[in-house]
Copies of this chain bind each other. A is one copy, B any other.
Amino acid sequence: MKNCIIAQSGGPTTAINASIAGVLIENQTNNYFNNVYGALNGITGILNHRIINLTDKVAADNNFISKLKITPAMYLGSCRYKLPNLDNSPDTYQTIFSYFEQLEIDTFFYVGGNDSMDTVLKLSEYAKQINSPVKVLGIPKTIDNDLCHTDHTPGYGSAAKYIATSLLEIAHDTCIYPLQSVTVVEIMGRDAGWLTAASALARNKYNVAPHLIYLPERDFDLDQCIADTKELLKSNHAVVIAISEGLHDKDGNYISASGTEIDHFGHCKLSGAGKSLEQALNNVLDTKVRSVELSVLQRAAAHCASLCDLDESVSLGQQAVCLSQENKSGYMATIERLSDQPYQTKISSCNIEVIANEVKQVPDSYINAQGNNITQEFIDYALPLIQGEPDIPFENGIPSYLDISHLV
């Protein structure tokens, strides 16, 4: 008996379940594992012995894998648990590997971002140390696209497609009145501006919005932003500004810093970057200003997923099974880009030691000199990642995703 167990961690994406689909597809072909188990809520599911048998799910439902591929957010649930260092908590490691032994686990696959890869690193090192035969492998995902040593991460392309589509639709919405207006759109990304940069993919033959794009890679200068906006209002009646939630000034202060006043209904304590900039512009412009926060939908809107993204996520799951077959441990499946046009990639792998706990920001060459827009080089990089529309089944007028009641 040779089994594997897979778990998911970090924030949701629309492409994270496609990697589980990839593991299941690869295993259907070569029957490498007798059972593919899923641990619920990440590594905590292994610590608490909360698992489900995905091989049984596949056997019971012909559509399980295809639906898994297009279902948003973690089908197995997530956790925000950071594995303690071995020295501080050897029991934790013993609990995990004793459960692996009980389940006859050959490989543990962990799908996630930076924190999850830290877990992969720690567990793979521990396995070596105790001479355990269990292989530990990482599969990347994060809408933030900030993992190093992979060209991009599953989840990013779909979030980028949703952001670009929404920005185009917002551009249509802003144009209808002859009055001048400014629309600020707040996009996720605390430390890296990849998602906000993707707003530029909304531009087409007739649409130049968003007119300004500010990323957290550059210090935000409110006075310069006001000047940029005023300049644009001379020749545009509807100006759209895309900003990252993580915008900060040169002293590192987030522009979304909280106010202190709370009225009888508790108003105003929380204020995001978008609302903050809306208010700041309202104070100085004689123009209607509003803000839109794309919010959690940018990581959950599977109805607008990128087929390229989902397909690559499947391939990375398949690659992880291949790495296990090659007897590798302490590796993460990766994507290498061979060319932009035509878009060609190679699924590869990388030692987890060089990946864990690093953050990849948007490079300088993708941001214009003024720091208020992106360059063509970014477009060339990102455009292939939002191509293709998966066939989403609908039932009763809404998407038909996999039942997630095991998480509730």
Binding site for B on A (CB under 8 A): 12, 41, 44, 71-74, 77-80, 161, 164-166, 168-170, 172-173, 175-178, 201-202, 204-207, 222, 236-238, 255, 257-263, 265-271, 275-276, 278-280, 282-283, 290, 292-293, 295-297, 299-304, 306, 383, 386-389, 394-399, 401, 403-405, 407-408
- A303's partner among B41, B263, B279, B304 (CB-CB below 8 A) is B304
A267 pairs with B268, CB closer than 8 A: yes
- A270's partner among B71, B263, B275 (CB-CB below 8 A) is B275
Instruction: Report A219 CB to chain B, min CB distance, Å.
Output: 14
| 30 intermolecular pairs with C-beta atoms under 8 Å apart | A12-B173, A77-B178, A78-B176, A78-B177, A79-B177, A79-B178, A161-B397, A165-B399, A166-B301, A169-B297, A169-B300, A169-B301, A170-B296, A175-B407, A175-B408, A176-B407, A201-B397, A206-B405, A222-B265, A257-B263, A257-B267, A259-B262, A259-B267, A260-B261, A265-B280, A270-B278, A271-B271, A293-B295, A306-B397, A383-B396
Residues of B within 8 A of A388 (CB): 397
Residues of B within 8 A of A206 (CB): 403-405
Residues of B within 8 A of A404 (CB): 172, 175, 206-207
Residues of B within 8 A of A170 (CB): 296-297, 300
Residues of B within 8 A of A301 (CB): 166, 169
- A296's partner among B173, B222, B261, B266 (CB-CB below 8 A) is B173
Residues of B within 8 A of A222 (CB): 265
Residues of B within 8 A of A279 (CB): 262, 265-270
The residue on B at minimum CB distance from A389 is B394
B173 pairs with A398, CB closer than 8 A: no
Instruction: Report A170 CB to chain B, min CB distance, Å.
Output: 6
Residues of B within 8 A of A270 (CB): 275, 278-279
B12 pairs with A172, CB closer than 8 A: yes
Complex alpha-carbon distance, A166 and B143, angstroms: 18
B238 pairs with A176, CB closer than 8 A: no
The residue on B at minimum CB distance from A172 is B73
A408 pairs with B236, CB closer than 8 A: yes
Instruction: Report A87 CB to chain B, min CB distance, Å.
Output: 27
Instruction: Report A66 CB to chain B, min CB distance, Å.
Output: 17
Instruction: Report A402 CB to chain B, min CB distance, Å.
Output: 9
Residues of B within 8 A of A74 (CB): 176
Instruction: Report A21 CB to chain B, min CB distance, Å.
Output: 16
A266 in contact with B276 given A73-B176, A173-B73, A386-B397 (CB within 8 Å): yes
Complex alpha-carbon distance, A255 and B396, angstroms: 33
Instruction: Report A264 CB to chain B, min CB distance, Å.
Output: 9
Complex alpha-carbon distance, A276 and B386, angstroms: 35
Residues of B within 8 A of A236 (CB): 408
B238 pairs with A408, CB closer than 8 A: yes
- A173's partner among B205, B266, B283, B300 (CB-CB below 8 A) is B300
Complex alpha-carbon distance, A296 and B290, angstroms: 10
Residues of B within 8 A of A265 (CB): 222, 255, 257, 276, 279-280
Complex alpha-carbon distance, A407 and B383, angstroms: 27
Pick from A177, A268, A293, A394 the residue with the most CB of B within 10 Å: A268
Complex alpha-carbon distance, A44 and B178, angstroms: 10
Residues of B within 8 A of A266 (CB): 276, 279-280, 282-283
Pick from A169, A301, A389 the residue with the most CB of B within 10 Å: A169
In addition to A207-B404, A292-B293, 13 A-B residue pairs with Cβ atoms within 8 Å of each other are: A166-B301, A168-B398, A169-B303, A170-B296, A175-B407, A202-B398, A257-B267, A259-B261, A259-B267, A268-B268, A268-B271, A292-B296, A304-B304
